[in-house]
Amino acid sequence: MPVVEGKSAVRICQKGIYVHTEGMELFLENSLKPIDLIVFDCDGVLLESMAAKIEAFRTWVPEAHSEQREAFMEVVMAGFGKARTHHIRTFYEEILGQEVSGDFLEAEVGRFTEICEPLCAAAAWRVGSKEFVLACREAGIPRYVLSGTPQAPLEAMLKSTGGAEFFDVIIGSPPAKPESLTRILAAIGVPADRCAFIGDAEADRAAAEHVGAHFVYFPSEANRPTGAVATEVSDLRQLLVQKG
């Protein structure tokens, strides 16, 4: 894990020991909360890439099974935040009732990636998201990206926006978000109640709940989380303390 320098609310020594120093206050759950780590989902939170992802999933469905396209899209819309491997496996095993080998699944994920990545390459930042990330960087707060997109495409998408440099760590799938978020907190030693996870789907909310972190819901085209939401924004800058 990187050592965070500058005006950081967190110092992480070589042994991963957490020492609280200053903190950054955000408006969460109707009050100001001290936060030492912010974790972002990518699609629909940092970038306007949800429409492209939805179109990619629709296009991916094999023409031989086109009658199952709408059933598959219901699964996708309800499960955004989970890995594409999960969705594709679900299509074959649960919707079609077919067993698939690991090699076949890998090939289908590759076919989806070939469809998806060109569509997402031109994705713009969501309004307010870049400004919020830069404000967090200015405050010295560690900034992680945690996405259901595989590592290489995730990094490529963020690099194409010029935003990869704004984050300390970028983490794709696998593993699933609850496991990755658990590992992040354990590795740098930040208490869960001083971490905020910003997402747009039930998978993100569930991951935050799993570790006890604050969850910020930033709505996108994905289905609304089924669990309780305590903090919801239409622009990430709403979380910031206004100066002056």
Task: Name the residue among 198, 204, 156 with its Cα closest to residue 178.
Answer: 204
Residue 223 within any structural domain of the chain? yes
Whether residue 5 is contained in a domain is answered as: no
**% of the chain at pLDDT higher than 90:** 85
Give the full edge-to-edge strand order of the sheet including 231-232: 169-173, 143-150, 37-40, 195-199, 214-217, 231-232
Residue 20 included in any domain: yes
Query: pLDDT digits over 24-35, tens only?
Result: 999 999 999 999
41 and 66 together in one domain: no
Same domain, 30 and 67: no
Q: Do 37 and 156 fall into the same domain? A: yes
In a shared domain, residues 153 and 66: no
CA distances (Å), 104 to each of 30, 89, 96, 100, 113, in order? 48, 10, 15, 6, 14
The last residue of one of the domains, among 78, 96, 120, is 120
**Token reading at 17:** 């020991």
Instruction: Assess whether 148 and 61 both reside in one domain.
Output: no
Residues 162 and 207 in one domain: yes
Contact 139, 196 (CB under 8 A): no
Same domain, 84 and 146: no
Whether 35 and 103 share a structural domain: no
Give pLDDT tens digits for 95-127: 999 999 999 999 999 999 999 999 998 899 999
Q: Indicate the number of domains in the chain.
A: 2
The last residue of one of the domains, among 88, 120, 152, is 120
Q: Which two tokens stand for residue 210?
A: 């799993």
- Please tell me whether residues 209 and 222 are part of one structural domain: yes
In tens, the pLDDT along 128-137 reads: 999 999 999 9
In a domain, 193, yes or no: yes
Domain of 74 in residue numbering reads as 56-120
Of residues 165, 84, 162, 80, the one with CA closest to residue 117: 84
**Last residue in a domain, options 95, 120, 145:** 120
Is there a single domain that holds both residue 129 and residue 44? yes
Distance CA 207, CA 160 (A): 27
pLDDT, tens digit, 9 for 90 and up, residues 176-226: 999 999 999 999 999 999 999 999 999 999 999 999 999 999 999 999 999
